[in-house]
Structure 1
């Protein structure tokens, strides 16, 4: 009997990429994971939803991937889809899937979205695109500042950054020069992206484009902590926006994905609502990671990763909400660095009314620190309730029960 399989290029231990593997199992598929992280094989028992795990030293080596695919095809396994929900393998997975003759996603558009310079250049002149410039790192910082910085503050970032790791708010020349010096030390980085700083509340938009039809599967308000980096500590679904703003957003997103050439595929965008209309802050060629898929599910009953898999399989998608609740995800960060001794209060947090999920990421002995990227969010709580204030109150109350006990390092 031939088993129908879905191949995944990499996954995180939790979040949307892992949710996708679990969704594939629920859909009746045999799941195969290609990973370049040897520790996943050492922790094999922690991935029961992965039916077959294959180590690949470099997932960007298409020749090695094809060799493994040939072996799989000889094992009475039929590959129905090959996908990735993890940067930077989304475009690669879509490219291989197209070469295999499975669902034909908009490969070029996914490629553009994997690099911030590429998508900014593609959208140059679009009404929703902030002003930007590409700065060659071979030039000295003083020259770059006087040539390109016309007003402050500005945003300075790596073209391949994700999770806010290399996204900096620059308030003065000294901060600019310090940032340039730091970026020059990063291996393989030849340019920086300078962007106009845009004021206004920020929203996460989850998008599925099916044969040219643009579905806004989720519009989520973000709570941003501006400390060393832009760290998102809260997500409210659905965002409290008037119908007129949602209609305008739909029009803007349709225009953006058309200019990018995305006619079949998924992406998520971060947009700011300004006095000059909607402005695009970021766009990435996949669903958001972390708790976002679970958040959408608790609010609407839609599994966005399942709909993404259906798109890759060539099945019709369905983004019709099954229920209508407000859901809020609250993330926990640390104020100081330390070694984790224990975490208490997780069970008590689960008993708070309206709580749907409590997740704590680090293991005992891990070194925790104040956030400089989204990866330094160490726990989250999701609540869902008929009223948004109830959901926010429940999640924040439950989060207060969770205590991280650290020893100095």
Structure 2
């Protein structure tokens, strides 16, 4: 039977939806996880491997699957940092060339910056290695403040610091003392966009462009789809995305980029070698009626992806966070929120008994409200009105 193997999964969002979508395509699904998740997977079969980076152990398990009659057609992951590992497994299984080297490069932010150095879309950056003279570094870059500091290997907007002085830089680097090397990047002042892209037989295809909203910790709290861009901005964005993806060397696979439009130029914030996590697929599906995740899976099975070309509905997703840490007792107002005009989805990540806290990464967002309307203004109002209906009851820690 045609089998898709998934390397790692979460209990919600893209990686969780991917398993259900693969079953809708008629595939037998296997989840390889580093822990047993009873009741938390939709997969037909769960294989536990303590270390998902141990390719040899995983290959032994996959060989046993084949011996049972499973025809492995694809092996992939939507979880950092297993994307390139899954691509390597696919190549070792003889399923094709899945750009594993390029995907591995894209998982390392310092490697990406060095690879793209010289492109118009590449902002100023510098690498701070362990043992560097922080005072000397700060003095050399005094004219470049403010700067963004972040670990070379990070995701979900985790550990991003905006520093405006030598003192703030010292404080941030002390917090990062166990996470070297650190990237120091030019602060980009301009609207930020998420670009969902796929590469099929070397051709870069843009599936969606979404404007983002963020808080003071750079946690994304709002997504507006489709992004409103001028014709010139849209054309130059397409050129910039293709240039970036081709320079990294991705010939096959999906990816998403975050870019800012600064003084008429597109600048890369970061690229990740997979489709966005969270409820991105539902946001795009609400706006277009098309299932991006299904097309990504079909592409991994060797089929050409087909992206929906209808005029999208104005769709806005509002992600919610808490201000106080504690144990969640109850969430009320869900039904009232769902009954408001324009509300398509009220999606909860957090369950009763879970710990909630002020956001330090995107994973700390506890819910997502998706609204659609005839205009973006109306969609935003609907989502924000719905958010006011939700009330969390939290027991302080």
CA contact (8 A) 1:8 1:82 kept: yes
Distance in 2 between the 1:34 and 1:347 partners? 36
Q: CA deviation at 1:139?
A: 2.3
| Residue 112 of structure 2: aligned partner | 119
| Residue 152 of structure 1: aligned partner | 145
Q: CA deviation at 1:322?
A: 4.8
Does the alignment pair 1:102 with 2:95?
A: yes
| Residue 22 of structure 2: aligned partner | 24
For each residue in 1:149-174, what CA deviation from the matched residue of structure 2 results, as whole angstroms up to 9, or x when unmatched?
54211000001111111111112221
Q: Indicate which of 112, 130, 135 corresponds to 1:142.
A: 135
Change (3 A) 1:190 1:225: closer
Does the alignment pair 1:87 with 2:87?
A: no
CA contact (8 A) 1:383 1:392 kept: yes
CA contact (8 A) 2:152 2:180 kept: no
CA contact (8 A) 1:106 1:263 kept: yes
CA contact (8 A) 2:151 2:180 kept: no
CA RMSD of aligned residues (A): 1.4
SS in 1 for 2:257: strand
Change (3 A) 1:394 1:103: farther
Q: Indicate which of 340, 359, 370 corresponds to 2:328.
A: 340
CA contact (8 A) 1:103 1:311 kept: no
Q: CA deviation at 1:370?
A: 1.4
Does the alignment pair 1:202 with 2:196?
A: no
Consecutive unaligned residues of structure 2, counting only runs of 5 or more, are none
Aligned ranges 1:288-327 → 2 under 5 Å: 288-322=276-310, 324-327=312-315
Aligned ranges 1:172-321 → 2 under 5 Å: 172-184=165-177, 186=178, 189-226=179-216, 229-321=217-309
CA contact (8 A) 2:233 2:264 kept: no
SS in 1 for 2:219: strand
Distance in 2 between the 1:303 and 1:340 partners? 32
CA contact (8 A) 2:350 2:366 kept: yes
SS in 2 for 1:129: coil
Q: CA deviation at 1:34?
A: 0.3
Does the alignment pair 1:331 with 2:319?
A: yes
How high is the TM-score relative to the length of structure 1? 0.94
For each residue in 1:178-217, what CA deviation from the matched residue of structure 2 results, as whole angstroms up to 9, or x when unmatched?
1111111x3xx33111101110000000011111221110
Does the alignment pair 1:397 with 2:385?
A: yes
SS in 2 for 1:404: strand
SS in 1 for 2:21: helix
Pick which of 145-154 and 250-259 moved more: 145-154
| Residue 69 of structure 1: aligned partner | 62
SS in 1 for 2:88: helix
Q: CA deviation at 1:148?
A: 4.5
SS in 1 for 2:144: coil
Q: Indicate which of 45, 49, 59 corresponds to 2:52.
A: 59
For each residue in 1:195-250, what CA deviation from the matched residue of structure 2 results, as whole angstroms up to 9, or x when unmatched?
01110000000011111221110000001111xx2011000110011222111101
Distance in 1 between the 2:202 and 2:303 partners? 15
Pick which of 139-148 and 235-244 moved more: 139-148
Change (3 A) 1:148 1:367: same
Q: CA deviation at 1:397?
A: 1.1
Q: CA deviation at 1:138?
A: 2.1
Consecutive unaligned residues of structure 1, counting only runs of 5 or more, are none
Change (3 A) 1:103 1:310: farther
Q: CA deviation at 1:140?
A: 4.2
For each residue in 1:280-308, what CA deviation from the matched residue of structure 2 results, as whole angstroms up to 9, or x when unmatched?
00100001100111101111122221111
Distance in 1 between the 2:329 and 2:167 partners? 38
SS in 2 for 1:352: coil
Distance in 2 between the 1:384 and 1:122 partners? 39
Distance in 2 between the 1:8 and 1:219 partners? 26
Distance in 2 between the 1:338 and 1:12 partners? 22
Distance in 1 between the 2:189 and 2:127 partners? 21
